[in-house]
């Protein structure tokens, strides 16, 4: 196959949608950097093993004189994926560019298997049928196919991960030859975030301090949180680190009291993994005197209350004192009526998401 046509095919593969069924993404197709053979079965050896690194008509080849036999396994490894440690593997898709020649040739796959930790393993993805006489890509595996293996991100990132192929040169044929011009692997994957954050709110519920609450829906290898404070939303100073649960699949609740009050408090929450990786999660804003820019009235409220905002808002979330999301409201301009008649009596927070990306929180009380 020509280099131009090969490049066009590769570009088409790379820019295919990176979303599979709304769940898994995929890497760009990768080519091997290392090559070898496995002689545990078969009798015929391959030549020019590195010919499979790019589609350029420089082939890995195996041939027989007449009435041939099975080949050795051709191994292609070291695809250099470099996926993050939080990656979960969804599937492995192998593309091989093949052709065959010979009088009455009947070249076929014997086996196509993954190479994991340097060993041939998993389900055989051989495709039945005689190879064509012109260069043709064949796909083995797929987006949701793990080849019968419990593959980890460490497995696919390893230099000794790849694929092996064995071919059948037997049958009533003269000078049968198998050619492989290119091998590629695409990994389909999803990323598991260290935590799934629920709510992050801050309120002046105490006369001389600010109470910061947040919840997590799940946690993975979560060592601790870092809480920071800013008076302008740009320059941040450390407030505290808060030990995390670590690993959890149920809601977890956290609270911290910051012994300071100013005209405007901004808070930022970050998370640190056991391996030291830091992820900034969210920032929020609390007005010390909400009536200056934002207010809710009447407060306390029985049946309905009115939220007035100086900044245009995109979403208002109603959160109870436990950090549970109670309601979501699309605000109407700068004044929104909120029906609270069905809410239970207690303290609530309105978490206001503004067009500028900032989040403001105000408190109100529901009474019966």
From CA 204, how far away is CA 3, in angstroms rounded?
Answer: 66
Q: What is the pLDDT of residue 335?
A: 78
Q: What's the whole-number average pLDDT of the chain?
A: 84
Q: What is the pLDDT of residue 213?
A: 83
Q: What is the pLDDT of residue 235?
A: 86
pLDDT above 50 (res 13):
no
Instruction: Give which of 110, 102, 98 is closest to 181, Cα–Cα.
Output: 98
For the chain, what are the domain ranges?
A: 3-191, 193-288, 289-368
101-136 pLDDT per residue, tens:
988 888 999 999 999 999 999 999 999 999 999 999
Mean pLDDT of 225-238: 88
Residue 18: pLDDT band (50, 70, 90) is very low
From CA 178, how far away is CA 171, in angstroms rounded?
Answer: 14
For the chain, what percent of residues have pLDDT higher than 70? 87
Q: Which residues of 297-333 are buried (b: 16+ CB within 10 A; e: fewer)?
A: eebebeeebebebeeebeebbbbbeebeebbebebee
Q: What is the pLDDT of residue 14?
A: 30
250-268 pLDDT per residue, tens:
778 888 888 876 556 788 9
- Comparing 297 with 271, which gets the higher pLDDT? 271
37-58 pLDDT per residue, tens:
999 999 999 999 999 999 999 9
- Cβ burial, residue 40 (10 Å; 0-12/13-18/19+): exposed
Q: Which CATH architecture has domain 289-368?
A: Sandwich (2.60)
Mean pLDDT of 21-30: 76
321-349 pLDDT per residue, tens:
888 889 999 887 677 889 999 999 988 98
Mean pLDDT of 212-231: 88
Mean pLDDT of 235-240: 91
pLDDT above 50 (res 6):
no
Which homologous superfamily is 193-288 in? Immunoglobulins (2.60.40.10)
Instruction: Give which of 65, 146, 67, 52 is closest to 99, Cα–Cα.
Output: 52
Mean pLDDT of 271-285: 86
Q: What is the pLDDT of residue 39?
A: 96
137-156 pLDDT per residue, tens:
999 999 999 999 999 989 99
Q: What is the pLDDT of residue 219?
A: 85
Contact 310, 334 (CB under 8 A): yes
Mean pLDDT of 218-242: 89
Q: What is the pLDDT of residue 11?
A: 33
Q: Please state the pTM of the whole predicted model.
A: 0.54
CATH number of 3-191: 2.60.120
Residue 35: pLDDT band (50, 70, 90) is very high
Is it true that 193-288 and 289-368 share their CATH fold? yes
From CA 210, how far away is CA 216, in angstroms rounded?
Answer: 20
Using alpha carbons only, how large is the chain's radius of gyration in Å?
30
3-state secondary structure 67-122: CCCEECEEEEECCCCCCCCCEEEEEEEEEEEEEEEEECCCCEEEEEEEEECCEEEC
158-217 pLDDT per residue, tens:
999 999 999 998 866 678 899 999 999 999 988 767 787 877 888 775 567 788 888 887
Contact 177, 100 (CB under 8 A): yes
Beta strand pairing status for 252-258 and 264-273?
unpaired
pLDDT above 80 (res 221):
yes
pLDDT above 50 (res 9):
no
From CA 93, how far away is CA 141, in angstroms rounded?
Answer: 5
pLDDT above 90 (res 289):
no
Q: What is the pLDDT of residue 282?
A: 86
């Amino acid at each position: 196959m020509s280099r131009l046509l090969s490049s066009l095919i590769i570009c088409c593969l790379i820019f295919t949608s990176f979303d599979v069924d709304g769940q898994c993404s995929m890497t760009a197709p990768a080519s091997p950097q290392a090559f070898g053979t496995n002689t545990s079965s078969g009798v015929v050896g391959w030549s020019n093993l590195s010919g499979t690194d790019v589609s350029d008509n420089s082939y890995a080849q195996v041939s027989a004189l007449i009435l041939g036999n099975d080949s050795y396994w051709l191994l292609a490894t070291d695809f250099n994926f470099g996926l993050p440690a939080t990656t979960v593997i969804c599937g492995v898709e192998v593309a091989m560019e093949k052709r065959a020649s010979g009088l009455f040739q009947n070249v076929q796959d014997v086996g196509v298997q993954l190479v994991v930790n340097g060993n041939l393993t998993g389900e055989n993805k051989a495709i039945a049928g005689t190879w064509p006489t012109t260069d043709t890509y064949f796909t083995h595996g797929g987006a949701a196919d793990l080849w019968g293996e419990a593959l980890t991100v460490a497995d696919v990132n390893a230099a000794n991960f790849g694929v092996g192929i064995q071919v059948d040169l037997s049958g009533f044929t003269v000078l049968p030859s198998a050619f492989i011009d290119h091998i590629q692997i695409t990994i389909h994957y999803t990323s598991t975030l260290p935590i799934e954050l629920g709510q992050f709110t801050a309120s002046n519920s105490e006369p001389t301090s600010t109470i910061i609450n947040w919840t997590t829906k799940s946690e993975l290898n979560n060592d601790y949180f870092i809480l920071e404070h800013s008076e302008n939303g740009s320059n941040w100073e450390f407030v505290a680190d808060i030990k995390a649960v670590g690993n959890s699949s149920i809601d977890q609740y956290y609270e911290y009291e910051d012994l300071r009050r100013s005209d405007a408090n901004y808070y930022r929450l970050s998370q640190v993994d056991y391996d030291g990786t830091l992820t900034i999660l969210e920032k929020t804003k609390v007005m010390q005197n909400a009536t200056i820019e934002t207010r809710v009235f009447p407060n306390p409220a029985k049946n309905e209350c009115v939220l007035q905002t100086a900044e245009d808002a995109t979403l208002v979330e109603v959160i109870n004192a436990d950090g549970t999301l109670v309601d979501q409201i699309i605000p109407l301009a700068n004044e929104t009526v909120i029906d609270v008649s069905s809410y239970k009596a207690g303290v609530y927070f309105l978490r206001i998401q503004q067009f500028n990306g900032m989040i403001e929180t105000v408190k109100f009380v529901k009474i019966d």
